[in-house]
Amino acid sequence: MPMKTLITALLLSAATLSASAVAQVDRYGYKLPPSMQQKKKKPAAAKKKAAPAVDYTGEYVNFGDWQEVRAFLDDVAARDGFDRAELSTLINQVRYVDTAVQLVKPAPPGKPKNWQAYRTLMIDAVRTDAGVKFWNDNAEALQRAESLYGVPAEIIVAIIGVETVYGRNTGRFRVLDALTTLAFSYPEAPQRRERMAFFRGEIEATLLYARQTGIDPLSLKGSFAGALGMPQFMPSSLMKYAVDFDGDGKIDLLNSATDAIGSVAAFLTSHGWQREQTGPIVQAATVSPNRAWEPLLQQGLKASYRPAELTAAGVSTATPAPDQLYGLVDLQNGAEPTEYWLANTNFFAITQYNRSYFYAMSVVELGKAVRLARGGAVASGM
């Protein structure tokens, strides 16, 4: 995609970094996942040249001459037993990707976030129809994952739909290019040093994964932030949480929908999903004019309050909430009134996939839409 188009999409969406363990952003931020950032080009006429294999321009930069890069490679070689000379040869083939730098820059200040606009982008006929087909094609794997991990099929389906439209757009950036660029040339932003440390860890995870699987690390393609496969796992998440759910002896998140399904469920379970939660994941809430509830918005990405505590602070719901822990979630709507919701522990498990209220809410909403379009009632706990 041309740079101008990508930057325009960023400014319009006011988005956060995608998913499977990348973003450390504030609770309002969101950035569209690869499925919305990298739109497919129209098929070329038969006589025309095929489209290039990548949709970014990687500029040659001699990363091997950078002191920080050399020190990092020294550490990785010593810690993981890599041949230092081979790492030098590899890093000399890595390109600088300005697109990645532009996309991780914070959104312009003063631009209001808009949940309803984001929802319109994420819960559409394309994703819903594709979700129905994906569910029908993978019903056995989804049922097995739900039984084993306790994560409803619609949540798994929705995450893969939001991330890549069921594998239609898994990203075309060379993973090592994107990760190295962000690890050593992250733009000025809050927590810049922490973000660069994160991406350096992802480079190391990529090298370990490539060695373990016997693949060329430069062959890996993914998002502008280095996320991989249908569910857009970062390399470290792939190493920790991905599972061989189809039993073929290897983990393939790019080509195996079954592995992607099992891995999403395993990730959520490892990050706090509880099968025993009752009632809906989210419930619309009304807040009192005295604003005694405002401190409840600072609980972080976790459920911390019992219904009685919420009621005492001036938060109410149309039907009584089950006696379990909740968080108060605020979804800004631009110039329109903010929406308030009670969210249970499983909502916050989804935010560990992508640290954004908008993202988690879109997963819940798309899951409902796909289940209803498929002709089923919304499952208990949705």
For 97-115, what is each residue's pLDDT tens digit?
Answer: 999 999 999 878 777 899 9
| Residue 21 pLDDT | 45
Of 370, 377, 339, nearest to 115 (Cα)?
339
Identify the residue whose tokens are 């087909």.
133
Residue 4 is assigned to a structural domain of this protein: no
**Residue 20: what are its φ and ψ, rounded to 5°?**
-50, 45
Q: What is the pLDDT of residue 18?
A: 44
Residue 224 lies in a domain: no
Tens digit of each residue's pLDDT (9 = 90 or more) over 212-264: 999 999 999 999 999 999 999 999 999 999 999 999 999 999 999 999 999 99
**In terms of C-beta density within 10 A (0-12 exposed, 13-18 middle, 19 or more buried), how is residue 202 classed?**
buried
Q: Choose the weakest-confidence range: 57-61, 80-84, 95-99, 159-163.
A: 57-61
Tally of structural domains, the chain: 1
Q: Is residue 186 scored above 70 in pLDDT? A: yes
Mean pLDDT of all residues in 175-181: 98
Structural domain including 282 reads 272-351
Both tokens of residue 326? 């909740």
32 found inside a domain: no
Show the beta-strand stretches assigned E in 110-258: 173-174, 221-222
Q: Which alpha helices (DSSP H) does 123-174 contain, by range?
A: 125-137, 139-149, 153-164
158 neighbors 367 (Cβ within 8 angstroms): yes
Average of per-residue pLDDT values in the chain: 87
**Least confident window among 44-53, 100-109, 316-325:** 44-53
CA–CA separation, 235 vs 205, rounded Å?
A: 6
Q: Is the pLDDT of residue 16 over 90?
A: no
Model confidence at 33, in pLDDT bands (50, 70, 90)? Answer: low
pLDDT at 282: 98
Residue 97 DSSP label? -
Of the chain, the percentage scoring pLDDT greater than 90 comes to 79
Q: What is the pLDDT of residue 249?
A: 96
| pLDDT beyond 70 at 37 | no
On the 0-12 / 13-18 / 19+ scale of CB atoms within 10 A, 82 is middle
Give yes or no for residue 43 having a pLDDT over 80: no
Question: Measured between alpha carbons, how far is 187 from 182 in angstroms, rounded to an integer?
Answer: 8
Choosing from 163, 309, 336, 339, which is the catalytic residue? Answer: 163
Supply the CATH number for residue 298's domain: 1.10.530.10
Q: In 156-184, which positions are buried (b, 16+ CB within 10 angstroms) versus exposed (e)?
A: bbbbbbbbbbbbebbbbbbbbbbbbbbbb
Evaluate whether residue 308 is within a structural domain: yes
CA distance linking residue 40 with residue 160, whole number of Å:
17
Task: Please report whether residue 276 resides in a domain.
Answer: yes
What CA–CA distance (Å, rounded) separates 334 from 342?
20
What is the CA angle 361-363-365, rounded to 5?
Answer: 70
pLDDT for residue 213: 94
In the three-class reduction of DSSP (H, G, I as helix; E, B as strand; rest coil), residue 229 is classed as coil
Task: Verify whether residue 309 is a known catalytic residue.
Answer: no
pLDDT for 35 beyond 70: no
Does pLDDT of 54 surpass 80?
no
Q: Is residue 324 part of a domain?
A: yes
User: What does the pLDDT read at residue 57?
Assistant: 75
Q: What is the pLDDT of residue 2?
A: 38
Q: Is 234 helix (H, G, I), strand (E, B) or coil?
A: coil
**Using 50, 70 and 90 to split pLDDT, how confident is the model at 7?**
very low
Residue 316 lies in a domain: yes
Instruction: Render pLDDT for 129-151 as a digit per residue (tens, 0 to 9).
Output: 999 999 999 999 999 999 999 99
